[in-house]
Amino acid sequence: MRGVVYDGKQVQVVHDLEVRDPGPGEVLVRVAAAGLCHSDLAVIDGTIPFPAPVVLGHEGAGVVEAVGPGVTHVGPGDHVALSTLANCGACPDCDRGRPTMCRKAIGMPKQPFSRSGSGAPLYQFASNSSFAERTVVKAVQAVRIPSDIPLTSAALMGCGVLTGVGAVLNRAKVDRGESVVVIGTGGIGLNVLQGARIAGALTIVAVDTNPAKEETARRFGATHFLNSAESVRDILPTGADHVFECVGHVGLVRQAIDLLDRHGQAILLGMTAPTAEASFPPAAMFLDKSILGCRYGSSRPQKDIALYAELYREGRLLLDELVTATYPVEEFARATEDAEQGKVARGVLTF
């Protein structure tokens, strides 16, 4: 089968991948579509350290082909969105409804893939590897969705939507009438914008250096669009209740903190290099300001994806509009180039 493999030096689309059958508590999914997220590119450029060779992809949707013993919530033929969160479901954090904090959900990559002929194992990225025609995931990662949701759109719920909308609703807990600033309007930033709109924020300021992104930002919920964070105070003189940094640049982290009003929150979503450091004046924090990290939208995928699916069906959550372009998996290089040049909100690979 086809898949996108990074061997530690280069990326290639191969045609000789194999994946093992599902074991107890696992699901085999035929992937229909997978979003190209900057986290995949971060593995290639080294921002996210990950062992190689690895099958990339972590934002996908498809159809269940088979289930292992003990799996009852999905069955063959069901449409599913794939979560990257392979939480155990039994530890204290999972029991408290915080699956993103599960210590078994990260740092222990498995090797369910191999290449025909050599039999050499390949790692699975983010417990997912949706850039393959078929993948095996833990049952908790396969979330059943209505079959009337296009799989090219449903794929984005597994990462971009969970991370962006979840950061607003679950982590920041934005309330009606509050003010929100979103720095960076890529795939995550757009979902933060629509999360703020769904939450009922009154003033939603999008900041991006690319003026071509204004129309899309406003469609997703921005009430204002600026090319520089330095102009935010013209709209919010006392600062914002919530500022989301969605780029992963330490200078923008400082700006996010500087833009806060009293009792404001800076929520950090952009992925910086592991050794990068940001600075800020601690004295400013005594006005009840907060800096919040946020992993995967502080989400509960089985619950949240089901909610977002219904919001989509009601017309309140935009998914189709996120998909700027689709690419056959063989055109991975072109999809990557478009993403790096900021030409797409989300490019989606199809099989």
* Segment 31-49, tens digit of pLDDT: 999 999 888 999 999 888 8
Rounded average pLDDT over 302-326: 96
Q: How confident is the model at residue 290 (pLDDT cuts 50, 70, 90)?
A: very high
Q: Token match 């003990």: residue? A: 70
| pLDDT of 46 | 87
The distance of Cα 132 from the centroid of its chain, to the nearest Å, equals 18
How confident is the prediction for the chain on average, in pLDDT?
Answer: 95
Q: Do residues 187 and 242 make contact, with C-beta atoms less than 8 angstroms apart?
A: no
Q: Which of 173-182, 223-232, 265-274 has the lowest mean pLDDT?
A: 265-274
* Segment 76-105, tens digit of pLDDT: 999 999 999 899 888 999 999 999 999 887
DSSP string, 163-220: HHHHIIIIII---TT-EEEEE--SHHHHHHHHHHHHHT-SEEEEE-S-GGGHHHHHHH
| pLDDT of 268 | 97
3-state class of 79 per DSSP? strand
Res. 170: pLDDT tops 80: yes
* Segment 106-164, tens digit of pLDDT: 767 899 999 997 788 999 999 999 999 999 999 999 999 999 999 999 999 999 999 99
Res. 210: pLDDT tops 80: yes
Rounded average pLDDT over 57-74: 97
Burial of 185 (0-12, 13-18, 19+ CB in 10 A): buried
| pLDDT of 107 | 67
Six-digit token pair at 149? 């949701």
